[in-house]
Structure 1
């Protein structure tokens, strides 16, 4: 008798997600609206990784603060656009 066990590391889709379908236009548009935040988060993560194993110099602290500021600005812009959908084309 052969018993098969489910692979605990297998990727399973989250609730409402189906692995065989492409994202809808609305989902792609939502991702596109969030891209400035995603890019800013990646930039901040890059800075954090770069500073993990070395001494922090003033220029590094400045780079870190700049990345944090860009993330806050990006989040504010995305939030404001969500609250004021009439503003299109980067009016903020």
Structure 2
């Protein structure tokens, strides 16, 4: 049995767009990790990942950590001090 999703009839609000904009550095960092992981997977077909591939993954993971920390600091006023 197939269920149908209700069509989206409303646009994102200004608040929704502001939240996305605030979270964008974290989203971009997570996409960089995904891209680095895909590169590692494809490198297996060409003799394995290079040290540069591993370095790229580590840097992307560090970027996610920094972006998540920054987002948490900006959204939690108790942690800003």
TM range (shorter): 0.7 to 0.9
Provide runs of 4+ in structure 1 moved above 3 Å. Answer: none
Q: What is the rounded CA distance, in whole Å, between the counterparts of 2:28 and 2:42 in structure 1? A: 23
Q: TM-score, normalised by structure 2?
A: 0.81
Q: CA deviation at 1:30?
A: 0.6
- Stretches of structure 2 lacking an aligned partner (at least 5 in a row): none
The Cα offsets for residues 31-86 of structure 1, whole Å up to 9 and x where unpaired, read as 1110000000111100101110321111111111000000100000000000129x
In structure 1, the partner of 2:57 is: 64
Q: Which has the larger radius of gyration?
A: 1
The answer to which structure has the higher helix fraction is 2
Counterpart secondary structure, 1:51: helix
Q: Which of 60, 68, 73 does residue 66 from structure 2 map onto?
A: 73
